[in-house]
Structure formats: structure tokens, C-alpha cells
Amino acid sequence: MTTRVACIGECMMELSERPDGSLLRGYGGDTLNTALYLARLGVAVDYVTALGDDPWSEEMLAAWAAEGIGTSRVRRLPGRMPGLYIIRTDEHGERSFHYWRDSAAARDLFSGPGADETRAVLSGYDLVYASGISLSLYGEAGRAALAETCRAVRAKGGRVAFDTNYRPRGWPDKAKAQAAFRDAMAAADLIFASAEDLEWLYGREGEEEVLRHRGRCEIVLKGGGSPPSVRVLAGAEDVTVPASTVAAVVDTTAAGDSFAAAYMAARLAGRPPAGAASCGHRLAGTVIGHRGAVIPRAAMPDLALDSGNKP
């Protein structure tokens, strides 16, 4: 039986400012990137979000479908639109992001007409993946609905994966972020955690916030260093898996998103945790050698995964 995966979150319209002031349009989102790479690795994955009835929402849906991402779980909200952000790059190559997303359709995924249906459908998936950015979208009532949905997934034998992905801009109240992340980690069977994210959120004790779940769930703790390494804790296993040296880092966008995709795809294919981490490093190392979040299909590394997706 094919394992069914759902990635929950938001995809926004992206405008990249060129040196002459003109703008290049695209789209992007952390869990959308993960869904795309899961699809390319042969995983049956649906993207779960809300969009409007505008032309750009239509373009997004067509592009996702072309990548093999399931779009039947995307709610369409009349009169609404996706969020928008602009990327500016200064003379030193540093990027800054500017957002218009307060009324984005994705924020109402767990509220309003259709929300109950979304929650019911999600409870039937084998694996549900969300991130800290996903949590920042919904407000307290929406997060409570998502938490209840995750409990329903697990009650039916499914699993929940959570990626910390903390962005301070999305959390005006840091205490609420801390509480929401604790709840999300407690509800997860697989946690992707960045040591940097945890320190920003919890200070020096950040790693302890995730390590308290060791033995209860699978933890992939991403650290720094060059080349970067991850610590994988699964059952009695506690190993550090270093990445290979990358010849040239062009753009780190979607490094973590692609790592999570390859890790989950490898685990679904029956690879052990350390082997899955090696797959994650290989895909992420390829992604950061290209500009942008999505690399050409021809550049995808062959991870030799079983596309049958063992549950």
C-alpha cells in the first residue's frame, strides 16, 4: 500500500528585485519546497493549504500538479489571494525579505467554511508534516485545531513530523511561540530541529527543549560547522552524520526543506535513520549548489530510493 503524505503550510507569491529595480515573479514556501522534493523522490504527497480564486493561485496549482504534487486538498476561498513577499539584495549580497501576508488565504485553512472537512481529511493520512512557519499562520484557535488534527492522525496509526523553522517576524509574541513549539514537538513522532532556531527561541537551553523527547520520538538535530552535521536520535541510536564538503555554495534557500524531504522519503523507503540523514545531506548539498529553492530536474541526485513508500 502506498503511504500517503500531507504537507501543511503556505505558498506565497515571490518578487525578486533586480539591480535595475525590476521584479522577477515566482512563488515559494518552506513546506511547499518539501512537498515538491518528496514528489520528485517518488512519494505520494498532497499539499494542504488555502488559495484564492485569482490568476496567480491558478498558476500555483498548475505548477504544483506539473511537479506531481496532489492539489485536491487545496481549499479555494473566493475573493482571497496568496500572501506576497519581496526579496531585496544589498551590495554585499545579503538578502532581506518584506512581507504582505496578513490577509493571505492560507491563514484561514483551519477556520471558516470547509475547515472541518480539511481536518477530517488530514486525519486519514499516514504522515503529516508541518513547520514552525505553518504554526505562525493560524492564531491560537487555528493552532489548537491543527493540534487536535495531529492527535487524530496518531490515533488512527499515522505519524506527525514537525520542523522547527522559527522565523521571529511571524511571532510578535515570543512566549506564544515558545508554547506553540513545545506543544508541536510533544505531538510529533519525528522532529527536525535546528540548533540555531532553538537558541533564538529558548536561549541556551534550546537544545534541551527538543532532547527531552529523546526515546519517545525520532529527532534530527541540525547543527552548524563546515561541513554541517546532524545528530540523529532514534530509539537507542544516537549518531552524528556529517555532510560531504560542497564545492561551491551558491544559495542556501531550501537547504533544510530539501533535507527533510530526502530524510522522510528515505525512511519511508525503509532506510535506517543514519542512512536517511546521508540522503538528506546529499540532496541538500545539491540544492545549495544552485540558485533558488527548486533545482532543475536534471540536477536531482539519484538516491536509489524505493518509490513504493513502505509504511
Say which residues have a Cβ less than 8 Å from residue 144's Cβ, sequence separation at least 6: none
29 in any annotated domain: yes
Q: How far apart are CA 288 and CA 260, in angstroms?
A: 14
In the annotation, is 238 catalytic? Answer: no
- Give me the percent of the chain exceeding a pLDDT of 90: 76
Over range 28-34, report the average pLDDT.
95
CB contact set of 7 (below 8 Å; sequence gap of 6+): 31, 32, 34, 35, 38, 45, 46, 47, 48, 129, 130
What would the mean pLDDT of 59-71 be, rounded to a whole number? 97
User: Into how many domains does the chain fold?
Assistant: 1
Q: Is residue 156 part of a domain?
A: yes
Whether residue 310 lies inside any domain: the answer is no
- Tell me which of 46, 163, 197, 257 is the catalytic residue: 257
Task: Report, as an integer, the average pLDDT of 128-154.
Answer: 95
- Answer positive or negative: Cα dihedral of 158, 164, 166, 172: positive
Q: Which residues contact 130 (CB under 8 A, 6 or more apart)?
A: 7, 8, 9, 31, 146, 150, 160, 161, 162, 163, 184
Does residue 115 fall inside a structural domain? yes
- Nearest Cα neighbor of 188 from 115, 118, 130 is 130
**Considering the domain boundaries, does residue 311 fall inside one?**
no
Backbone φ and ψ for 127, nearest 5 degrees, come out as -145, 130
Q: Is residue 13 a part of any domain in this protein?
A: yes
Distance between CA 144 and CA 139 in Å, rounded?
9
Supply the pLDDT for residue 245.
78
Instruction: Please write the tens of the pLDDT for every residue from 9-25.
Output: 999 998 988 888 899 89
CATH number at residue 220: 3.40.1190.20
Does a structural domain hold residue 170?
Answer: yes
Q: What is the pLDDT of residues 165-212, one digit of tens each?
A: 999 989 999 999 999 999 999 999 999 999 999 999 999 999 999 999
3-state helix vs strand vs coil in the chain, percent to 5: 40, 25, 35
Our measurement of the distance from residue 195's CA atom to the centroid of its chain's CA atoms, rounded to an integer in Å, reads 16
The pTM is what?
Answer: 0.93
Where in the sequence is the domain holding 177, given as residue range(s)? 4-299
The residue type of 37 is Y
Q: Is residue 228 part of a domain?
A: yes
- Cis peptide before 113, with omega less than 30 degrees from 0? no
